Amino acid sequence: MTKPPISTIDALPRPLKHIDDSAVTWRAFPGYDGLFFWVLGANEARQQIDLYFRLAPGARCPSHRHVGPTDTLVVEGEHITWALDDDGNWHLDEQRQPATFAANEGDHLHSEEGGSEGAIIKLSMTAVDGIIWETFDEDNQLVDTATFADFSRALEKQRTTR
């Protein structure tokens, strides 16, 4: 017996299985309250890191610059981004809702935070010369870098501690 084709989206049933992070052991970003991650993959040939980034409600990360191309997909919650204006002041850039996709080609300085219920976003980030992002202090001085190797090690640790 052949089923008739589904010709409208309204006729398509929703899957009963949704993203379930109960098996994820969220890893805290050391020194940053309310920011967590889970590495999904590390592709050495492409120098690409894929991860889930979870922000607690209102948790804001320090200013940082994604060095290479970065794709962002809001999985749940609200993802709020901040940009630095020409006068050196931070202003609200975007309030991204679930299913919002954004991309940049790198050299992207910003800050971000979780909305009133927090957020989970999926990031695909490409390293340049091994660097994924650079973190800055309040005076816009470089204080830290996150590298492809850092996330590759985190992924290996996840695999051995599951």
- Domains by residue range for the chain, with CATH: 25-161 (2.60.120.10)
Predicted structure pTM score: 0.88
Per residue, what are the HEC states of the chain?
A: CCCCCCCCHHHCCCCCCCCCCCCCCCEECCCCCCEEEEEEEEECCCCEEEEEEEECECCECCCEEECCCEEEEEEEEEEEEEEECCCCCEEEEEEECCCCEEEECCCEEEEEEEEEEEEEEEEEEECECCEEEEEECCCCCEEEEEEHHHHHHHHHHHHHHC
Q: What is the mean pLDDT of residues 28-39?
A: 93
Query: What is the reported pLDDT for 30?
Result: 86
Is the separation of the CB atoms in 162 and 25 below 8 Å? yes
Q: pLDDT class for 145, splitting at 50, 70, 90?
A: very high
- C-alpha 29, offset from chain centre: 12
Query: What is the reported pLDDT for 131?
Result: 98
- C-alpha 79, offset from chain centre: 9
What percent of the chain has pLDDT above 90? 77
Is the separation of the CB atoms in 84 and 90 below 8 Å? yes
Phi, psi for residue 153 in degrees, rounded to 5: -65, -40
The pLDDT tens digits of the residues spanning 41-98 come to: 999 999 999 999 999 999 999 999 999 999 999 999 999 999 999 898 999 999 999 9
Phi, psi for residue 9 in degrees, rounded to 5: -65, -30
- Mean pLDDT across the chain: 92
Question: What's the sign of the alpha-carbon dihedral 118, 97, 93, 84?
Answer: positive
Q: pLDDT class for 6, splitting at 50, 70, 90?
A: low
Closest CA to 123 of 48, 54, 51, 64: 51
Tell whether the model's pLDDT for residue 4 goes beyond 70.
Answer: no
Residue 131 carries which side chain, given as an amino acid letter?
I
Tell whether the model's pLDDT for residue 2 goes beyond 70.
Answer: no
Q: pLDDT class for 162, splitting at 50, 70, 90?
A: low
Q: What is the mean pLDDT of residues 152-158?
A: 96
The pLDDT tens digits of the residues spanning 9-22 come to: 776 777 777 788 88
